[in-house]
């Protein structure tokens, strides 16, 4: 948590500082409010959420009248936190109480989806490591059979974090059958969590969505899909938002992983993505190493913005 705060402020996020500077003026003109909105848009907060936030802040300022810097900071903090937190449940299924019971159905299946290059495979590896660290048995499946390199990369992660990887020997094998076999094997071996990595070629959107749907259906023949995590690259901003909508409509997602937040001076997508999709950000990626994945913590995130 402390690390998250430190790293987020290190990313030199200009958003908080700029907002505070404008809002601390003694008399706010219409032009100032436009600056507030532009600042939010530039930080990738998204039009809908930016407009919403401006309206809320305007009404706060009306109620509050002239306020000192600390009071303005508090007002901004509360408004941002209300949006970023939104009372959403961020626990991963595998973490919830029912998993702790010995008679809980196994495995708990997590399907990772997202466009190539967003950090899906890396996140699958980091996630496996998180579960291993909690004493859970974990398996991964390479259901991106289109590129052999993708399965190799997942295997490298498997070796790194001590988790076995189910893959196909042939290029172009049916991704759903790899996922099916993995679910079977995970069940046979009484594995707690199965993480399924999938393909993310958006060139043929319809095919990809069909493929993901099939993976899900096939896994559900033997096991239960508890989470579908959408991996989004925080540095792609509103482009990521468009991708998110495609995946959300096609297969339904239970949570978002925002990667590369370490390399983003923007990060505003965190603020709008939940509001616009109604799906919580559950995890954030803060680097390329195996330990650079953290549970998303809204207060720490907002403090990071306002640091």
Known binding residues are 114-121, 197-201, 259-262
Q: Compute the least distance from the CB of residue 189 to ligand GDP, in Å.
A: 25
> Token match 């190539």: residue?
116
SS3 track for 44-106: CCCHHHHHHHHHHHHHHHHHHCCCCHHHHHHHHHHHHHHHHHCCCCCCCHHHCHHHHCCCCCC
**In 3D, which of 237, 238, 216 has the Cα closest to residue 227?**
216
- Binding-site size for ligand GDP (CB under 6 A) equals 18
* CB of 246 vs ligand GDP, minimal distance in Å: 15
Burial of 112 per CB tally in 10 Å (0-12, 13-18, 19+): buried
Q: Does 290 bind ligand GDP (CB under 6 A)?
A: no
Minimal distance in Å, beta carbon 296 to ligand GDP? Answer: 12
Stretch that binds ligand GDP, among 40-48, 211-219, 256-264, 298-306 (CB under 6 A): 256-264
* Given 285, 294, 300, 302, the residue binding ligand GDP (CB under 6 A): 285
Burial code (b: 16+ CB inside 10 Å, e: under 16) for 215-229 equals bbebbeebbebbbbb
Query: What is the rounded distance in angstroms from the CA atom of residue 286 to the CA atom of residue 234?
Result: 10
Q: Could you give the dihedral angle defined by the CA atoms of residues 234, 39, 298 and 197, in that order, rounded to the nearest 10 degrees?
A: -10
Site string for ligand GDP, 34-53 (x = CB under 6 A): --------------------
Give me the residue label for tokens 């009306």: 62
Please tell me whether residue 289 binds ligand GDP under the rule CB under 6 A. no
Smallest distance from the beta carbon of 75 to ligand GDP, in angstroms? 31
Measured from the CB atom, the residue of 60 and 233 that comes closer to ligand GDP is 233
Nearer to ligand GDP, 75 or 199 (CB): 199
Please enumerate, by residue number, every residue annotated as part of a binding site for GTP: 114-121, 197-201, 259-262
Segment 162 to 221, residues that bind ligand GDP, using CB under 6 A: 200
What order of strands is seen across the sheet that includes strand 108-113? 164-166, 138-143, 193-198, 108-113, 224-233, 255-259, 281-285, 293-295
* 8 lies in the binding site for ligand GDP (CB under 6 A): no
Is 262 a residue that touches ligand GDP (CB under 6 A)?
Answer: yes
Q: Which of the stretches 65-73, 204-212, 214-222, 257-265 binds ligand GDP when contact is defined by CB under 6 A?
A: 257-265
Site string for ligand GDP, 93-132 (x = CB under 6 A): ---------------------x-xxxxxxx----------
Of residues 203, 147, 155, the one with CA closest to residue 171: 147
**Rounded distance, CA 114 to CA 247, Å?**
8
Residues in the site for ligand GDP, rule: CB under 6 A?
Answer: 114, 116-122, 200, 259-260, 262-263, 285-288, 292
């Amino acid at each position: 948590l402390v690390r998250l705060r430190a790293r987020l402020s290190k990313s030199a996020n200009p958003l908080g500082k700029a907002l505070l500077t404008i809002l601390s003026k003694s008399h706010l003109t219409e032009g100032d409010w436009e600056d507030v909105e532009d600042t939010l848009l530039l930080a990738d907060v998204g039009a809908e959420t930016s407009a919403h936030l401006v309206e809320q802040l305007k009404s706060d300022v009306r109620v509050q009248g002239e306020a000192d810097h600390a009071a303005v900071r508090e007002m901004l903090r509360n408004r941002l936190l209300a949006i970023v937190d939104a009372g959403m449940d961020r626990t991963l299924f595998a973490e919830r109480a029912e998993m702790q019971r010995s008679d809980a159905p196994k495995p708990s299946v997590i399907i990772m989806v997202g466009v190539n290059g967003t950090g899906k495979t890396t996140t699958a590896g980091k996630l496996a490591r998180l579960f291993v660290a909690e004493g859970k048995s974990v398996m991964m499946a390479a259901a991106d059979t289109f590129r052999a390199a993708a399965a190799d990369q997942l295997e490298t992660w498997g070796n790194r974090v001590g988790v076995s990887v189910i893959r196909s020997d042939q290029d172009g094998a049916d991704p759903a059958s790899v996922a099916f076999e993995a679910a079977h094997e995970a069940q046979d071996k009484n594995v707690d969590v199965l993480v399924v990595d999938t393909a993310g070629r958006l060139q043929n959107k319809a095919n990809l969505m069909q493929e993901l749907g099939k993976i899900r259906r096939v896994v559900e023949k033997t096991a239960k899909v508890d989470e579908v995590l959408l991996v989004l690259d925080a540095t792609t901003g509103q482009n990521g938002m468009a991708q998110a909508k495609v995946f959300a409509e096609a297969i339904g997602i239970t949570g978002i992983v925002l990667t590369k937040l370490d390399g983003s001076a923007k990060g505003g997508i965190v603020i709008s993505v939940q509001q616009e999709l109604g799906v919580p950000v559950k995890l954030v990626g803060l680097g390329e190493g195996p330990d650079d994945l953290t549970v998303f913590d809204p207060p720490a995130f907002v403090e990071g913005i306002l640091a």
